Amino acid sequence: MGQDLPSDAPLAVVWRRDLIESVHRGRYAVHSLGGKNLDSLGDPAGYVYLRSTAKPFQALPLVFSGAADTFGITSEELAVACASHNAEPKHLAAVRSILGKAGLSETDLQSGAHPPVHAPAAARLARSGEKPRPIHGNCSGKHAGMLAVCAYAGWDLARYRDPEGPLQKLIRRTVAKLCDLEPNAVRLADDSCGVPVFALPLLNLALGFARLAAGCEDFPEDLSKAVRRIRDAMRAHPYMVAGTGRFATLLMQCTDLVAKSGAEGVFAVGSPEGWGLALKVSDGAGRAVAPTVLAALGRRGVQVPRRMRSFPVADLHGRVVGEVAPLIH
């Protein structure tokens, strides 16, 4: 093996009646705006692929380039540009609207196709006999935003995913800036939708979300204004950032946090109080994310309604046969 595994620890277990059936390990870091480690489990310096937790950063050029103002992109549309959305009707309408305002259409999307994340939306599409198209992919808002920047700047639309093209290089510099790193310390690979994905130390993701939520006043004015607008859009439209039943949406609806999910068990949260939390479930399991994040947030004094803190395991008859329970208290 060419790489050491970052140290981790058990985060949550899956009970089935009175025995533990499965266990999820991972690591998290809570970092302050000032760069102080407020809480952590496992190695906070180990690299993590941000996956979709990078989307709020990836959407910043849409604002600071001037594209959003020129095209009249609304706050709801900015939120869907930061989204891993459910492909519910409102999400699809917002993505189409971004494309239309930039003089583009669905056929410009190169996000790859997968069925809608939201099961009822997926079932509706399947019943209709239509195949999933790129717009149904959870990343289509991000891609629409990327295309809009290219349309505004006069960059080659067909090459908007190119890691060596002007847009993706700008995004990499932006991610690095927000997360307090040199661009070449941000490592690259390929995300599922075909754009570059970024890897950086977990604590830098936490810091990036602290800045997203609480501001970064020492940044150039256009960038710090863009950060505020993205944050405000996500806060104003949590439904657009994910959708019905999704944890990031529910968490933003009942707190003052900014929250974003990523594939492979990554989650990031920013607080207006000036701290950020970043989590990586080592095995990538989504079911460990909400119990762990809520337990770690509880340690910061963040409370959510009781119904959000229940993670039953049900059988096919709807009977509760177990539960997912955090090990952090």
Q: How far apart are CA 52 and CA 248, in angstroms?
A: 12
Q: Is 307 in the site for a second copy (CB under 8 A)?
A: no
Q: Is 187 in the site for a second copy (CB under 8 A)?
A: yes
Q: Is 285 in the site for a second copy (CB under 8 A)?
A: yes
Output the smallest distance, CB 300 to a second copy, in A: 23
Output the smallest distance, CB 65 to a second copy, in A: 26
Q: Is 127 in the site for a second copy (CB under 8 A)?
A: yes
Answer for which of 69, 156, 190, 256 binds a second copy (CB under 8 A) is 190
Mark residues 243-282: x for contact with a second copy by CB under 8 A, - for none.
---------------------xx----------------x
Q: Is 184 in the site for a second copy (CB under 8 A)?
A: no
Exposure string over 187-197, b if 16+ CB within 10 A, otherwise e: eeeebbbebbb
Q: What is the 3-state secondary structure (H, E, C) of the chain?
A: CCCCCCCCEEEEEEEECCEEEEEEEEEEEEEECCCCEEEEECCCCCEEECHHHHHHHHCHHHHHCCHHHHHCCCHHHHHHHCCCCCCCHHHHHHHHHHHHHCCCCHHHCCCCCCCCCCHHHHHHHHHHCCCCCHHHCCCHHHHHHHHHHHHHHCCCHHHCCCCCCHHHHHHHHHHHHHCCCCHHHCEEEECCCCCEEEEEEHHHHHHHHHHHHHCCCCCCHHHHHHHHHHHHHHHHCHHHHCCCCCHHHHHHHHCCCEEEEECCCEEEEEECCCEEEEEEECCCCHHHHHHHHHHHHHCCCCCCCHHHHCCEEECCCCCEEEEEEECCC
Q: Is 142 in the site for a second copy (CB under 8 A)?
A: no
Q: Is 319 in the site for a second copy (CB under 8 A)?
A: yes
Answer for which of 59, 92, 193, 241 binds a second copy (CB under 8 A) is 193
Contacts with a second copy by CB under 8 A: the residue count is 51
Output the smallest distance, CB 42 to a second copy, in A: 12
Answer for which of 28, 49, 160, 239 binds a second copy (CB under 8 A) is 49
Output the smallest distance, CB 232 to a second copy, in A: 31
Q: Is 284 in the site for a second copy (CB under 8 A)?
A: yes
Answer for which of 47, 71, 152, 267 binds a second copy (CB under 8 A) is 47
Q: Give the pair of three-digit tokens for residue 277.
A: 């939390």
Output the smallest distance, CB 113 to a second copy, in A: 6
Q: Is 199 in the site for a second copy (CB under 8 A)?
A: yes
Output the smallest distance, CB 275 to a second copy, in A: 26
Output the smallest distance, CB 200 to a second copy, in A: 11
Of 218-247, which residues contact a second copy (CB under 8 A)? none
Q: What is the phi-psi region of residue 215: left when phi exceeds 0, alpha when psi lies from -120 to 50, beta otherwise?
A: left
Q: What are phi and psi of 132, to 5 degrees?
A: -60, 140
Q: Is 164 in the site for a second copy (CB under 8 A)?
A: no
- Contacting positions for a second copy (CB under 8 A): 1-3, 5, 10, 13-14, 16-25, 47, 49, 111-114, 123, 126-127, 129, 137, 187-194, 197, 199, 264-265, 282-285, 315-317, 319, 321-322, 327
